[in-house]
Amino acid sequence: MTRPAGTARTLVARARLLGGDAVAVPGLSLREAPDAARARASLRAARAADLWIFTSPAAVRFAFRLSPSLQMPRRAQAFGVGAGTARALARHGIWAIAPHEHADSEGLLALPELADVRGRRIALIGAQGGRDLIASTLRRRGATVEAIHVYQRVAPRLTRRHFDALVAAPDPLVMLISSGEALRNLVSLLPAPLLARLHHQPLVVSSSRIAGFARDHGFGDIVEAASALPGDLLDGARWALARHRL
């Protein structure tokens, strides 16, 4: 499991319920925005926005950590990149529109509610970096987009404990990847012999984009899951294991 540090608990628990022996190795570490005061001021200014888009459950968590009394104006619409983000918003009393099939930027941008945003003001709440696909696409559609960075993604701190757990894990060792940045970090941080072993193990990814990145970095046995949702990633793992046993 390569979820960000501290966020893999649910996925690990579900894998173990299915009989798997799960090992959590973070591909990312999440931290509060480097300029917290600026992020708070941007969240206050977002009350003038027509649409609020949260890019991940982490975006929701860090936004409300920075501004516990954060409230959206009644006239504004909220969006989440996936069902997990929508559920995180619901815990704060905010109903959000989210794509059902593709929990990613492309799925969000395909929502009919975002097809015509000309003249609308949009608050895009997430982390700095990434592909910038949402902001650039919505700007091309005529919206004014304010990117509010409430957290940052940094490389994880992997220790001997992580490496030893991977070395001890038996074949087939299925890796679940839902972030190209996480995979890039692992490629650069894992010891060369361990990375060489993983190149020959099944790899489950959440998008064709990540699959292409994985192929470019030497992975060959790749299964593309339907989405980054835990259930879809685990379905991909089951398919990878079934194929491995053939």
Q: What is the pLDDT of residues 69-106, one digit of tens each?
A: 998 888 999 999 988 899 999 999 999 999 987 778 89
List, for residues 216-233, the tens digit of each pLDDT value.
999 999 999 988 878 888
pLDDT at 84: 87
* Cα 238 off chain centre by: 21
DSSP 157: -
Asked if residue 1 has pLDDT above 70, the reply is no
Interatomic CA distance for residues 222 and 204, integer angstroms: 6
Which CATH class for the 31-154 domain?
alpha beta
Which CATH class for the 9-28+158-245 domain?
alpha beta
Asked if residue 240 has pLDDT above 70, the reply is yes
Q: How many CA atoms lie within 13 A of 168 on its CB side?
A: 9
Mean per-residue pLDDT of the chain: 89
- For the chain, domain boundaries: 9-28+158-245, 31-154
Report whether 204 contacts 153 (CB < 8 A). no
Tokens of 85: 């983000």
Mean of pLDDT values over 154-177? 91
Report whether 46 contacts 123 (CB < 8 A). yes
Percent of the chain, pLDDT > 90? 65
**pTM across the whole model:** 0.82
Q: In terms of Cα–Cα distance, which of 102, 130, 241, 131 is closest to 176?
A: 241
Same fold, 9-28+158-245 and 31-154: yes
Asked if residue 169 has pLDDT above 60, the reply is yes
Instruction: Identify which has the larger pLDDT, 14 or 231.
Output: 231
> At 211, is the pLDDT very low, low, confident or very high (cuts 50, 70, 90)?
very high
